[in-house]
Amino acid sequence: MASLRDRAANFDMTSLLDDRSVEIIDGDTIKKIPKDFLYSVDQVRTEFNDDSLLELAENIMENGQQSPIIVHPVDSTNKYCIHQGERRWRAICLLDDIETVDCLIRSNNTMYQQLSENIQRENLSPYEIAAAISNLKKKDNIKSTDVSKKLGKSKSWTSQYESISKMPIEIVNLLKIKNVQDINTIANIRMSSKVDLESTLSFINKAEVITREASEKLKNKLSNANSEKKSLKEKTYKPSQIEVLYNDEIGLIMSDSDNISVGYIDIMIKDHLQTVSVDDIKVIGYKNKLNKKV
């Protein structure tokens, strides 16, 4: 008897399609199609975990295929292109005892329907959703708001996932390795990386598990530190008219010095700002306004 692959090579479709188990669901026909007559292109899902596939294959072997995959009608290659359900097909391909796949044949499905279906099933990673949104925008030359409408999602939801595509690739790869799937945690890491990339990379590398709480603390810590740096950078020091003697050199006390309360003071000597102890300086008078030299 010819093997399944031999029959597939001869494109003997009539004898291969098993109509004995045809089922009608909401006007759609489900047929058992040989797994070798199915192929996948342009799928939303791009990441397949080997252990997870083996687990699914064992479940299908034990309990049968619980839901059909969705395919396009037979094309010029005499095969069916998978539109939704590639993971189930891959799992069945691991089983020698199961030769056919329950398929629902449709001709009007779009990538938006595929993405929406996978999101509802909650089996797509945030990174796959982000890549799918980016690809759809490029493919159809549309805006983020259009993607939101087609998916029935809010603008903020789409923006949150889309921002993943704008993150540094080294950050994204590390988050994948650490298996960070929570979108809010990813958002915190993204904001942290914008403030301080090196510190964020160090945090991810050192952390065994990255939680939402830990990522929130990192974001706040880096944001506060950055705010303090900006505040110091933007602060302008103006020399007063009070002259002091420090190490036998004459300087001017800075009017905006903020160290006096802790026993130190900022002074300007020959255009150089110095922070010195108040015990080491001696007030000698006021600068002569007519003399521009210190």
φ/ψ of 125, rounded to 5, equals: -80, 160
pLDDT of residue 104: 86
CA distance linking residue 195 with residue 272, whole number of Å:
30
pLDDT value at position 273?
79
How far lies 109's CA from each of 83, 89, 155, 182, in Å? 8, 18, 23, 29
Q: SS3 of 44, please?
A: coil
Q: Give the whole-angstrom CA distance, residue 294 versus residue 72.
A: 85
- Cα 18–Cα 20–Cα 23 angle in degrees, nearest 5: 100
CB-hemisphere CA count at 13 Å for 72? 19
Q: What is the pLDDT of residue 95?
A: 92
Q: Which one, of 212, 225, 209, 213, lies nearest residue 185 by Cα?
A: 212
pTM exceeding 0.75 = no
Q: How many CB atoms lie within 10 A of CB 82?
A: 24
40, two tokens? 């996948």
In a structure prediction context, what are the per-residue pLDDT tens digits for the chain, which is 294 residues long?
A: 344 444 444 434 444 444 444 444 444 668 889 988 898 865 555 566 678 889 889 999 988 898 888 888 777 677 888 888 888 998 999 998 999 999 988 765 556 666 666 665 556 788 888 888 888 888 778 888 888 887 778 888 888 888 998 899 999 999 999 999 999 999 999 999 998 898 999 999 999 899 999 999 999 988 887 776 665 555 566 788 889 999 889 988 887 655 555 677 888 888 787 888 888 899 998 876 544 444
Whether residue 67 contacts residue 23, with contact meaning beta carbons closer than 8 Å, is answered with no
Structure tokens at 251: 């300087």
pLDDT of residue 227: 72
Cβ neighbourhood burial of 114 (10 Å; 0-12, 13-18, 19+) = buried
Q: How far apart are CA 15 and CA 28, in angstroms?
A: 21
CA 210 – CA 221 distance, rounded (Å): 16
pLDDT of residue 23: 46
What residues have CB less than 8 Å from 156, skipping those under 6 apart? none
Distance (Å, whole) CA 162 – CA 156:
10
